[in-house]
Amino acid sequence: MPGHHSARGRRTTERKGDVRERAILDTCEALLTHKGYDAMTVGDIAQGAGITRGALYFYFGSKQEVVTALVARTVEHLWERSRVTAQTDEPRQAIAAAMQRTVELWNEHGPVLRTAIDLSLTVPEIGELWMHTADLFIAAITAVLEHAGIQAGAAPDQASAMARALCWMIERTFYHASQESREKLQEASATCEHIWLTSAGLIT
């Protein structure tokens, strides 16, 4: 019986830990929106999460570690969108769905995604997460282009090279548009979608 109670206690502790970690990450995201990465402090995060600085350090060693975990949580949604896009056989439908899902994610988590881009060159862990995300999107875009009849390959007029350019165009376009308004982001998405469709030979 003591063993049974001990196991139940551990499960409860784990659940409490999950709740606290989620509160830390949610607070960090809110602070990125209202204060930005540079102005945000560990004390701000702890206070917003309703814990002490010491308790926060039980979960994360620094502000940078909190943001890295938040980026990891957020890009998982991007990975799911890229997977769904790659599995859709009809190119027009795949392109429209991919752009709409990406707009939704930028609307929901724009400050996190912009912070990931800003820190990707100076924080190796975030850089790895962001490059992995880009690689997944490039693979998904490549698959859509090939389904549309673009020749496979890495030459400038072939699918993988075109996909790489489209991926980084979308990233940079969304980065800037998301800082202005939801309307600008939707307009930017429509432009990127048009360019992608044109590149795939689906409109002229």
Supply the pLDDT for residue 1.
40
Q: What's the whole-number mean pLDDT along residues 8-34?
A: 77
Q: Judge if 11 and 53 occupy the same domain.
A: yes
CA-closest candidate to residue 167, choices 139, 204, 203: 139
Question: Are 57 and 5 contained in the same domain?
Answer: yes
Same domain, residue pair 188 and 151:
yes
Give the mean pLDDT of the chain: 89
Please indicate, yes or no, whether residues 69 and 161 belong to a single structural domain of this protein. yes
3-class DSSP state of 111: helix
Q: Mean of the pLDDT values across residues 148-176? A: 97
Task: Indicate if the pLDDT at residue 117 is higher than 50.
Answer: yes
State CA 139 to chain mean position distance.
Answer: 16
* Residues 15 and 84 reside in one and the same domain: no
pLDDT of residue 8: 38
Least confidently predicted of 16-20, 50-54, 106-110, 136-140: 16-20
Whether 203 and 133 map to the same domain: the answer is: yes
Which CATH number characterizes residue 43's domain?
A: 1.10.10.60
Q: Dihedral (C-alpha) 99, 82, 69, 43: value to the nearest 10 degrees?
A: 0
**In sequence order, what are the residues at sequence separation of 6 or more whose Cβ sits closer than 8 angstroms to the Cβ of residue 177?**
184, 185, 187, 188, 189
Domain boundary among 40, 61, 82: 61
CATH of the domain at 197: 1.10.357.10
In this structure, are 30 and 127 located in the same domain?
A: no
Taking 80 as the threshold, does the pLDDT of residue 43 lie above it? Answer: yes
Q: How many structural domains comprise the chain?
A: 2
Range of the domain at 91: 64-204
Residue 1 and residue 74 share a domain: no
pLDDT value, residue 68: 97
Q: Residue 146: what pLDDT? A: 95
In a shared domain, residues 78 and 169 = yes
132 pLDDT above the threshold of 90: yes
Do 52 and 134 sit in the same domain of this protein?
no
Which of 44, 61, 78 is at the close of a domain?
A: 61
pLDDT greater at residue 88 or residue 66 = 66
Where a domain ends, among 17, 42, 61?
A: 61
Residues 53 and 72 grouped into a single domain:
no
Q: Are residues 142 and 198 in the same domain?
A: yes
Query: pTM, whole model, 2 decimals?
Result: 0.86
